[in-house]
Amino acid sequence: MQNQETIGKILLTEDQIRQRAHELGQQISEDYKGESVILLGTLKGSVVWMADIMKAITLDTAIDFIAASSYGSSRTSSGVVKVTKDVSMNLYDQNVIIIEDIVDTGNTLKFLKDYLSDRNPKSVRICTLLDKPSRRIADVTPDYVGFTVDDLFIIGYGLDFDQRYRNLPYISYLEG
């Protein structure tokens, strides 16, 4: 397995991301004061961000994961989304916070919000590490955003290109 792509500059360091996770964790803890939450991570991209954000939340907290994939070419998602690993917890009357790596076209989150609403949760909000608003197609706005990024193909800190680069401890992008 060889890397044929060129990795760009470091856009966000591990320290910057952890600091932001701490700020958002505090905000979430205030917003849901006295309540419990289920953090629902989207596999696989959100796992590194999930690990940071969950430690920054001081509420009664459970975590679960869901995997959804959209079919399209490797760099862009189509509008067709399928759940490939379902939620295992009962979401009825629960505060669900979807933990996402990046909101791009918004197609995945739009689908997931509709999909989860069938489970009758008390509330559903979105906490994303990155937001790429310039590419938005679907009508979806994340409630908690780590950082806004330009229209680049982002890698690292959980985000992949063809399943690689998820292990980079920083956020970068592919050149070209």
Q: Which residues contact ligand IMP by CB under 6 A?
A: 45, 70, 77, 100-108, 153-154, 159
Give the one entry of Mg ion, ligand IMP, none that residue 70 binds, where binding means its C-beta sits below a cut-off of 5 to 8 angstroms depending on kind: ligand IMP
Which structure tokens are listed for 70?
A: 């959209």
Give the shortest CB-4-to-ligand IMP separation in angstroms. Answer: 17
Nearer to ligand IMP, 65 or 153 (CB): 153
Beta bridge mates, 64: 40
> How many other CB atoms are there within 10 angstroms of residue 166's CB atom?
17
Residues shown for the chain: 176
The answer to whether residue 158 forms part of the interface with Mg ion (CB under 5 A) is no
CA dist., res. 82 & res. 112, Å (int):
9
Nearer to Mg ion, 59 or 101 (CB): 101
Out of 52, 101, 104, 131, pick the active-site residue: 104
User: Where are the alpha helices (H) located in the chain, listed in sequence order?
Assistant: 14-31, 47-55, 107-117
Active-site residue, 104 included? yes
Widest distance between CA atoms in the chain: 50
Nearer to Mg ion, 28 or 101 (CB): 101
**Of Mg ion, ligand IMP, none, which one sits near residue 104, judging by CB under 5 to 8 A according to partner kind?**
ligand IMP
Q: Is 101 in the site for Mg ion (CB under 5 A)?
A: yes
Continuous segment of H or E residues that includes residue 126: strand 123-131
Q: Kindly tell me the sign of the dihedral angle through the C-alpha atoms of 81, 84, 89, 92.
A: positive
Closer by beta carbon to ligand IMP, 24 or else 102: 102
Residues with a catalytic annotation lie at 104
Task: List contacts with Mg ion (CB under 5 A).
Answer: 42, 45, 101
